[in-house]
Structure 1
Amino acid sequence: MELTALNNIGKEMSRKLQQIGVQTAEDLQQMGSKEAFVRLKMAFPEVCLVHLYTLQGAIDGTDYNQLSEELKAELKGFSDGMK
């Protein structure tokens, strides 16, 4: 499945994901949102917490703004720990 077929993944995010080795939806699923975010952050320092939310939403098959507050808090903690 193409990356742009996933929720939250547009052409620009797809391009960035491909540059870090994520070619398909299955690749993203296997890598997970946190590892993909770490790789994106190293390649594109401007990526932010919302990118992590969008990756998780893409994996979960939901819009990023529909993630549970608990999951958002966990992801924010992960992102904050990278600083």
Structure 2
Amino acid sequence: MGKLSDLPNIGKKLEEQLTQVGIDTPEKLRQTGSREAWMRIYEVDPSACVNRLYSLEAAIAGVKKTELEEERKQELKTFCREAKGQI
């Protein structure tokens, strides 16, 4: 199964946050999806920003967050703003 930190973009802090919200394996992260995982983290850490969402999305895809397509980044940015009540 592996560790979350084996995925790209998942450092110690993000791994700890994911574990805190019940996502403790790469498979659980894939099943949960980036948006739901980010929402769970946001509930316990309101400072969670769009970059954390990018990291989760890219980790699931197995790429660095800088490799996400611009269109996908815009979708995630809109989702993040809506979730934070900024739209």
Q: TM-score, normalised by structure 1?
A: 0.98
Cα displacement (A) at 1:24: 0.2
* Partner deviation per Cα, 1:45-73 (whole Å, 9 max, x = no partner): 11100000000000000001110001001
Equivalent residue letter for 1:6: L
Q: TM-score, normalised by structure 2?
A: 0.93
Equivalent residue letter for 1:74: E
The residue correspondences of 1:34-53 to structure 2 (distance < 5 A) are 34-53=35-54
- Note the residue ranges of structure 1 that are not aligned, 5 or more in a row: none
Q: 2: distance between equivalents of 1:43 and 1:20?
A: 8
Q: 1: distance between equivalents of 2:62 and 2:13?
A: 19
Q: 2: distance between equivalents of 1:17 and 1:79?
A: 17
Q: 1: distance between equivalents of 2:28 and 2:22?
A: 8
Cα displacement (A) at 1:10: 0.7
Residue 16 of structure 2 is aligned to residue 3 of structure 1: no
Q: 2: distance between equivalents of 1:72 and 1:61?
A: 16
Q: 2: distance between equivalents of 1:50 and 1:2?
A: 21
Aligned length in residues: 83
Moved over 4 A (4+): none
Q: 1: distance between equivalents of 2:66 and 2:50?
A: 12
Cα displacement (A) at 1:9: 0.3
In structure 1, the partner of 2:26 is: 25
User: Taking every aligned residue pair, what percent have the same amino acid on both sides?
Assistant: 41
- Note the residue ranges of structure 2 that are not aligned, 5 or more in a row: none
